[in-house]
Structure 1
């Protein structure tokens, strides 16, 4: 379904009743948002680097791990937003892209975060590209969004959730 803002919203309902929605650019170059809802409790949101292969109907390894963490934590859903909306499996492709952020990304990223109960930053070391991590962190902070992390790298970047033990719980990022 094409939305009034020129994005495409696609929906899927899994056999277990989980309702999934993904928002893409008309050209499919960008995935702005991914949401899975299975209950009434507030959703867990992750703000990561960029979308990979996950869709409204299928998880990739990162989304599968984020969903497992959200379910185990008693959340009613999962929201995925990214610093960059450009779809790529390799950070080198992201860095080579002419316009990796995507024209609708900031607006939709902020909207997704406002609809979550807990927001976890997890973009790893590549968020420094185009100074995007600092820009998004300021955008969210200035909008009253409190970020959490699953720990920081030795250089102070929020760890990517694919590589963090389930035993590690989100902590406020100050």
Structure 2
């Protein structure tokens, strides 16, 4: 699917610690997808990681023109456990970039997986992102729901998995 991509663009903080957005433009017409996950790995404007390869496959099947990926926490690290030791795992400009991605999209997919993998202090971070979605009038979709009510991560589902409506769980 990478041969379909015409443009990769990443938005990093000046210090390089945070990746706020990762855009894949497929060079065709169709809906723009806003996709929220947990934290960025090492995918950037030059290379994919396994998650982004899977995301591209889903986007292709949905007929998307572009996918704009944002994360609950913008700190770049392959290991989600590293968020526990960071001074600011969310990133100073993350919420503004999330709002930008959501406001510019047609389909809004949330896919951060179970929050139990996050440090306790970050397990409710998703709530502020849900507020941004609601303020934009966005209706979040997902590829299934985990046991804790959170949206499943793309690596955990098959391509045949349909998008369904997602509502924030009541705790």
Answer yes or no: is the 8 Å Cα contact 1:71–1:77 preserved in 2.
Answer: no
Answer yes or no: is the 8 Å Cα contact 2:102–2:136 preserved in 1.
Answer: no
- The reply to whether residue 35 of structure 1 matches residue 23 of structure 2 is yes
**Counterparts of residues 59-70 of structure 1 (less than 5 Å):** 59-70=48-59
The equivalent of 2:113 in structure 1 is 124
Question: Which deviates more from structure 2 when the two are superposed, residues 99-108 or residues 120-129?
Answer: 120-129
Runs of 4+ in 1 over 3 A off after TM superposition: 14-17
Question: Which deviates more from structure 2 when the two are superposed, residues 58-67 or residues 127-136?
Answer: 127-136
- The reply to whether residue 79 of structure 1 matches residue 68 of structure 2 is yes
How many pairs were matched up?
A: 161
Answer yes or no: is the 8 Å Cα contact 1:24–1:30 preserved in 2.
Answer: yes
3-state SS of paired residue (1:124): coil
The equivalent of 1:23 in structure 2 is 11
The equivalent of 1:141 in structure 2 is 134
Change in 2 beyond 3 A, CA 1:151/1:103: same
Q: Scaled by the length of structure 2, what TM-score is found?
A: 0.88
Q: Scaled by the length of structure 1, what TM-score is found?
A: 0.86
CA offset digits 1:100-146 (Å, max 9, x no partner): 11111001111111112211111112366252011211222123121
**1:169 maps to which of 162, 165, 168:** 162
Q: Structure 1 unaligned segments of length 5 or more: list them.
A: 1-13
Answer yes or no: is the 8 Å Cα contact 2:114–2:147 preserved in 1.
Answer: no
- Alpha-carbon distance in structure 2 between the residues aligned to 1:17 and 1:110: 24
Q: Structure 2 unaligned segments of length 5 or more: list them.
A: none
Measure how far apart 1:164 and its partner are. Answer: 0.6
The equivalent of 2:149 in structure 1 is 156
- Alpha-carbon distance in structure 2 between the residues aligned to 1:86 and 1:144: 27
**Counterparts of residues 39-50 of structure 1 (less than 5 Å):** 39-50=28-39
